[in-house]
Amino acid sequence: MNDGHVTRDLPIVVVVGGGFGGLAAAKALKRAPARVVVIDRTNHHVFQPLLYQVATSILTPGQIGSPIRGILRNQPNTSVLMGEVIAVDLAERCVVVDCLDRDRVRVHYDYLILATGASHNYFGHKEFEKYAPGLKNLADAVAVRNKVLRAFEQAEGEEDPARHRELLTFILVGAGPTGVEMAGAIASLCRITLRSEFRRIDPASARIVLIDVGSRILGSFSEDLSAAAHKQLEELGVEVLLGQGVEHVDEEGVIVAGKRIKSKTVIWTAGVTPSPAGTWLNAETDRSGRVRIAKDLTVPGHAEIFVVGDTATLDHDGKPLPGVAQVAIQQGRYAGRLIRRRLEGKAMLKPFRYFDKGNMAVVGRGYAILQTRVFRTSGFLAWLAWAGVHLQFLAQSSLRVSVFVQWVWTYLTGQRGSVLIVNHLSGSHTEAKTEPVPLQSSEPVQSSV
Amino acid sequence: MNDGHVTRDLPIVVVVGGGFGGLAAAKALKRAPARVVVIDRTNHHVFQPLLYQVATSILTPGQIGSPIRGILRNQPNTSVLMGEVIAVDLAERCVVVDCLDRDRVRVHYDYLILATGASHNYFGHKEFEKYAPGLKNLADAVAVRNKVLRAFEQAEGEEDPARHRELLTFILVGAGPTGVEMAGAIASLCRITLRSEFRRIDPASARIVLIDVGSRILGSFSEDLSAAAHKQLEELGVEVLLGQGVEHVDEEGVIVAGKRIKSKTVIWTAGVTPSPAGTWLNAETDRSGRVRIAKDLTVPGHAEIFVVGDTATLDHDGKPLPGVAQVAIQQGRYAGRLIRRRLEGKAMLKPFRYFDKGNMAVVGRGYAILQTRVFRTSGFLAWLAWAGVHLQFLAQSSLRVSVFVQWVWTYLTGQRGSVLIVNHLSGSHTEAKTEPVPLQSSEPVQSSV
């Protein structure tokens, strides 16, 4: 329809993944003499660094998700396909896509950019996932939000104080940025937002436990910032257990260093595993499965295939680049530019160099830590910097305003934007149940609601 | 915890349902000498008249759902319990509640207000529900939104033009306010919002079919307003099929008057069935199952039990009151006030009188019809009145601002707030799939993406 003006024999660049890396690549190809196809499993880009705010009811899913089509609307050489890539046919230069409710299709590429990211890593204990969901996409965040809010609802309906304790214990496994940010946000939820909404339980009495096998939280930050964040968490009433691995997770809670902590709400924030891009390409990977790429971000032996972001590994000044949004964005942009220059027959780019803009994490309301190559700081000013940088990056301008309004509102009043349990399982009682339910007076009678 | 100041021997008023009727009742009991317990299956009140805007991506679920606890936060005599009432024990004056992941509990009442609403009515064809979801709660609205947006995504990935036609046909069964409002909103979605986001399909070519067995749309409005709305729908490109019943619904579409219309997106807006309150109470009901109540809204023979809103029926000036929010609100408030007066030993209220404030429906962007006892109008001014009245009623002040901003934004730019497909079924590929997928070159190769 709208691509009538695109010449049919233009080379095709396929970008797999609509995260930070894939979008940056697609945007860098805006004026390239090529047809660009962006493939993603969902119809939206997610601003992953703020997922924890959806999981803790501060923001709505719509505030951090933007439809990929909308972002690329004004890029006529680019089309978007919703489907899941499950393989790459190197010989025929095709990606194999599982489409929505349809048969597989094969999409031909002349250039391929794999920006397929990472998902949760349960370190061989996939059975933990059922009890300890992770936080990688909007569906995860809504599921965690439901789980956290339901725990309070269940506790309020429960007469046994011992059960209150279990229901109001929240465990975060892994003290990286997501674990720390979740812990801080759950603490504010309990102590401020929900303070006066219950009659039988006191949400402020909730126990929040952050567990990590390492010797300090936020290991990617300097020791002083890590210590400052630790102190701040403890002021918010978060228990931090360090040097202790979680040995087991089940519906009763976790076992840490041989001791059980009972909890109905365990959240897994302990690590990531790359997408199977290495398997698709039959390429050399590091131990965790990330594809080893060359300094121009291509896969050795395949000048037409690029891998960027969390699913790739590249040594930089002697150590592997971290799995953060900035790396994905800069790599995606580099890959897009390099392909454009090749297609235009221009001189090649210098090898990829990562420019480290710094690193931040939020610890509760109005407190953050900030580390750049030249300075470090913590506290309210760091939080303002954090808020500014994140608003800056939110992909769509109308979202930016609404997130800003919501943050100011939440900061001033403690009220959150989306304290909803939206659960497809609860179902509606379609058509009247005409069978009367047998009454058993053995059921407990609530005496003190 | 917080109810230490409530005397233990106060009478208990149980309100079942946190919709318009139940909330109005609970609020009217704010200063009553009683302990009030509000029980709902979800943790939030839903502003049902705007559900269609969530289903068509204009608003987010958070913009029309407010947590019941938040609404009643400053009402110390009131507690909220999340759970589903499944029976009433009249002899022991208890409601039986299915709680979250727990055994049933029984909650004692001295007074009982049932405001349990209504759900979809498939007129004996419950098997249609799988293919034609209805629109009664936020989970429904998100499911319909996913279905509509996925249809466009699937069509864009599809090469066969005949399949495009099926995928881009949207059928609404039932031309009451919800059907008409959905039809108008889907039309604007196709013609304006999604206009330039696809490359292979043209969303503006979508076919939108509104079907009703009656002789005109919006049968509860006057004939001239109904005709005006009909004309407006046709200007938006909606096909209106009247006097024709839907005989069958399956995954291929519907059969209407013996003719099949192929469609992947059928939405059921054809009628409601009351909650099983009549069965719980073993009370007299009308043919559709609504409880016949007395002029003081109690159930004959039970001066302590009130039934209000869509799950009750009451003749008023010779005909039954309609199933609209205003009736539920006024009845809920009346029941709450009457109980308070009884508890305070004051003179009783006059029999319930419904004050009809008028009736409205929106047909597309910036057009509504408005009917009151004294005048009727249609067009942009009616739409402004509609917007004002609906903003007025939204339960929570912070929501009101955000809905207003979103409406102005959507009106001016055509952009919508929440074009997201958030699907728990799609799942994340946790832990790398290490098995390579066998490549079959028989799969179709996309040549024209």
Each residue's pLDDT tens digit in chain B (449 positions)?
344 344 458 999 999 999 999 999 999 999 999 999 999 999 999 999 999 999 998 888 888 888 899 899 899 999 999 999 999 999 999 999 998 777 789 999 999 999 999 998 998 899 999 999 999 999 999 999 999 999 999 999 888 888 899 999 999 999 999 999 999 999 999 988 888 889 889 999 999 999 999 999 999 999 999 999 999 999 999 999 999 999 999 999 999 989 999 999 999 999 889 999 999 999 999 999 999 999 999 999 999 999 999 999 999 888 999 999 999 999 999 999 999 999 999 988 999 999 988 899 999 888 999 999 888 999 999 999 888 888 877 765 556 667 777 777 777 777 777 777 776 443 333 343 445 555 655 566 665 44
Rounded to a whole number, what is the distance in Å from the CA of B243 to chain A's nearest CA? Answer: 24
Residues A430, B120: C-beta atoms closer than 8 Å: yes
Residues A420, B44: C-beta atoms closer than 8 Å: yes
Chain segment B269-288, per-residue pLDDT in tens:
998 899 999 999 999 999 99
CA atoms within a 13 Å half-sphere pointing along the CA-CB vector of A7: 6
Compute the count of residue pairs across chains A and B with CB atoms less than 8 Å apart.
340
Q: Which residue of A has its CA nearest to B446?
A: A107
Residues A102, B423: C-beta atoms closer than 8 Å: no
Give the nearest partner residue to B149 out of A43, A84, A89, using CB atoms. A43
Instruction: Choose from A422, A441, A443 for mutation: most chain B CBs within 10 A.
Output: A422
Domain A126-270: which topology?
A: FAD/NAD(P)-binding domain (3.50.50)
Q: Which residue of A has its CA nearest to B277?
A: A432
Instruction: Choose from B41, B251, B424 for mutation: most chain A CBs within 10 A.
Output: B424
Contact B211, B243 (CB under 8 A): no
Residues B106, A402: C-beta atoms closer than 8 Å: no
Mean pLDDT of A255-274: 93
Rounded to a whole number, what is the distance in Å from the CA of B70 to chain A's nearest CA? Answer: 6
Mean pLDDT across chain A: 88
Chain A residues whose CB is inside 8 A of the B440 CB are 104
pLDDT of residue B394: 74
Largest CA distance in chain A: 84
Chain B residues whose CB is inside 8 A of the A145 CB are none
Chain A residues whose CB is inside 8 A of the B421 CB are 42-44, 82
Give the nearest partner residue to A106 out of B136, B201, B444, using CB atoms. B444
Residues B106, A436: C-beta atoms closer than 8 Å: no
> Annotated catalytic, A181?
yes
What is the DSSP code (8-state) at residue B172? Answer: E
Confidence of residue A401 (pLDDT cuts 50, 70, 90): low
Rounded to a whole number, what is the distance in Å from the CA of A248 to chain B's nearest CA? Answer: 18
Residues B426, A139: C-beta atoms closer than 8 Å: yes
Confidence of residue A256 (pLDDT cuts 50, 70, 90): very high
Rounded to a whole number, what is the distance in Å from the CA of A224 to chain B's nearest CA? Answer: 34
Mean pLDDT of A281-291: 95
Rounded to a whole number, what is the distance in Å from the CA of B124 to chain A's nearest CA? Answer: 8
State yes or no: pLDDT of A292 exceeds 60: yes
Find tokens 């490359």 and name the residue. Answer: B199
Question: Which of these is catalytic: A92, A153, A159, A181?
Answer: A181
Residues B80, A2: C-beta atoms closer than 8 Å: no
Q: Sheet containing A111-114: which strands, arranged edge to edge?
A: A298-299, A302-307, A111-114, A12-16, A35-40, A78-89, A94-99, A104-108, B445-446
Instruction: Choose from A44, A428, A434 for mutation: most chain B CBs within 10 A.
Output: A428
Chain segment A309-368, per-residue pLDDT in tens:
999 999 988 899 999 999 999 999 999 999 999 999 998 899 999 998 889 999 988 899
Q: Which residue of B has its CA nearest to A5?
A: B199
pLDDT of residue B442: 58
Domain B12-120+272-343: which topology?
A: FAD/NAD(P)-binding domain (3.50.50)
pLDDT of residue B197: 87
Residues B122, A60: C-beta atoms closer than 8 Å: no
Residues A197, B282: C-beta atoms closer than 8 Å: no
Chain A residues whose CB is inside 8 A of the B409 CB are 398
Mean pLDDT of A384-404: 75
pLDDT of residue B178: 94
End-to-end CA distance of chain A: 62
Chain A residues whose CB is inside 8 A of the B137 CB are 428
pLDDT of residue A345: 93
**Using CA of residue A61, residue A63, residue A65, residue A68, what is the dihedral sign?**
positive
pLDDT of residue A389: 85
Residues A200, B70: C-beta atoms closer than 8 Å: no
State yes or no: pLDDT of A3 exceeds 80: no
Residues B199, A99: C-beta atoms closer than 8 Å: no
Burial class (CB in 10 A: 0-12, 13-18, 19+), A435: exposed
Chain A residues whose CB is inside 8 A of the B53 CB are none
Q: Which residue of A has its CA nearest to B81?
A: A157
The pTM is what? 0.86
Rounded to a whole number, what is the distance in Å from the CA of B42 to chain A's nearest CA? Answer: 7
Could you give the CA distance from residue A397 to residue B434 in angstroms, rounded to a whole number?
39
Name the token pair of B422: 């958030």
pLDDT of residue A396: 59
B189 membership: H or E segment, kind and range: none
Could you give the CA distance from residue B91 to residue B355 in angstroms, rounded to a whole number?
35
Q: Which residues pair with B82 in a beta bridge?
A: B40
Rounded to a whole number, what is the distance in Å from the CA of B379 to chain A's nearest CA? Answer: 28
State yes or no: pLDDT of A430 exceeds 50: no
Note whether ipTM > 0.85 here.
no
Mean pLDDT of A35-40: 97
Chain B residues whose CB is inside 8 A of the A429 CB are 119, 275-276
Residues A2, B441: C-beta atoms closer than 8 Å: no
Residues B154, A104: C-beta atoms closer than 8 Å: no
Q: Which is more confidently placed, A399 or B316?
A: B316
**Domain boundaries for CATH 3.50.50.100 within chain A:** 126-270
**Domain boundaries for CATH 3.50.50.60 within chain A:** 12-120+272-344
Give the nearest partner residue to A446 out of B87, B105, B280, using CB atoms. B105
**Using CA of residue B118, residue B122, residue B125, residue B127, what is the dihedral sign?**
negative
pLDDT of residue A263: 95
Q: Which residue of A has its CA nearest to B77?
A: A199
Q: Which residue of A has its CA nearest to B68?
A: A197
Chain A residues whose CB is inside 8 A of the B429 CB are 119, 275-276
Give the nearest partner residue to A415 out of B398, B427, B440, using CB atoms. B398
Chain segment A90-133, per-residue pLDDT in tens:
999 999 999 877 778 999 999 999 999 999 899 889 999 999 99
Give the nearest partner residue to A449 out of B107, B418, B430, using CB atoms. B107
Give the nearest partner residue to B197 out of A69, A156, A440, using CB atoms. A69
Q: Which is more confidently placed, B160 or A212?
A: A212
Chain A residues whose CB is inside 8 A of the B436 CB are 87, 279-280, 282
User: Could you say which of 3.40.605.10, 3.55.40.20, 3.40.50.150, 3.50.50.60 is the CATH number of the domain covering A12-120+272-344?
Assistant: 3.50.50.60
pLDDT of residue B168: 95
Question: Which of these is catalytic: B84, B158, B166, B181?
Answer: B181
Chain A residues whose CB is inside 8 A of the B437 CB are 86-87, 96
Rounded to a whole number, what is the distance in Å from the CA of B149 to chain A's nearest CA? Answer: 9
Residues A136, B428: C-beta atoms closer than 8 Å: yes
pLDDT of residue A287: 92
Q: In 3D, which of A70, A47, A272 has the Cα closest to residue A141?
A: A47
Chain B residues whose CB is inside 8 A of the A79 CB are 156, 198-200, 449
* The total number of residues written for chain A in this structure: 449
